[in-house]
Chains A and B, each alone.
Chain A
Amino acid sequence: GAGVSQSPSNKVTEKGKDVELRCDPISGHTALYWYRQSLGQGLEFLIYFQGNSAPDKSGLPSDRFSAERTGGSVSTLTIQRTQQEDSAVYLCASSLGPEGHQETQYFGPGTRLLVL
């Protein structure tokens, strides 16, 4: 079946603008993760959704970052008033969740964000 998809694949924006990044997880996966990966850096956890539970937002770097997941499927990561240090690749991953084999994550191709 289809894997995790993300859009847009690339985004160039001006400092101060808001951006929205979208993630379509694998159908049936109840867990969804957002990560950020800067050049030469590891994956930085941002936020975790599991079913209808309240999301774990402990990784969000500032209140300019927010995310939602509608209907337990598609998720949107929003960055308000973007800064140059927000430039990175934003990766989404999904997994089966606690009722399944939740440990394995399936990643999307990422959105490359460049803030000028």
Chain B
Amino acid sequence: SQKIEQNSEALNIQEGKTATLTCNYTNYSPAYLQWYRQDPGRGPVFLLLIRENEKEKRKERLKVTFDTTLKQSLFHITASQPADSATYLCALSGGSYIPTFGRGTSLIVHP
């Protein structure tokens, strides 16, 4: 069955450092992959989308890579700030309008 894995342990980093979050998947051939941010008590907010034929996408301090051979996406936040603290979800879609979401990884940026 399709499986999406995100690190369940929170990632703790120091302000100014680069945060790297991982999304691995199995039994899946996604056409595209999305990253969302979710704050406590709020719905997820879309951040970036990357397609299967794209290796890398950037938006301001955010960078996403997509390796369909490794079946992995990496999500980077450079020059991290305490305001970046949140849970980050990856979502995969392929052949369907219904994406499958990972459970998310919590990021905590310490001042």
Contacts and interface: CB of A to CB of B under 8 A. Distances in A.
Interface of A: 4, 31, 33, 35, 40-43, 45, 48, 50, 56, 59, 91, 93, 98, 102-110
B97 A43 contact: no
Interface string B44-55: 111001000000
A48 B101 contact: no
Interface string B69-111: 0000000000000000000010101000111111110000000
A98 B97 contact: yes
Interface residues of B, number: 21
B43 A42 contact: no
A105 B99 contact: yes
A103 B102 contact: no
Contacts of B49: 103-104
A111 to B, nearest CB: 10
The 6 closest A-B pairs by CB, nearest first: A107-B43, A42-B103, A43-B101, A104-B46, A42-B101, A107-B44
Interface of B: 4, 32, 34, 41-46, 49, 89, 91, 93, 97-104
13 contacts: A41-B103, A42-B101, A42-B103, A42-B104, A43-B101, A45-B98, A45-B100, A48-B98, A98-B97, A102-B97, A107-B43, A107-B44, A110-B42
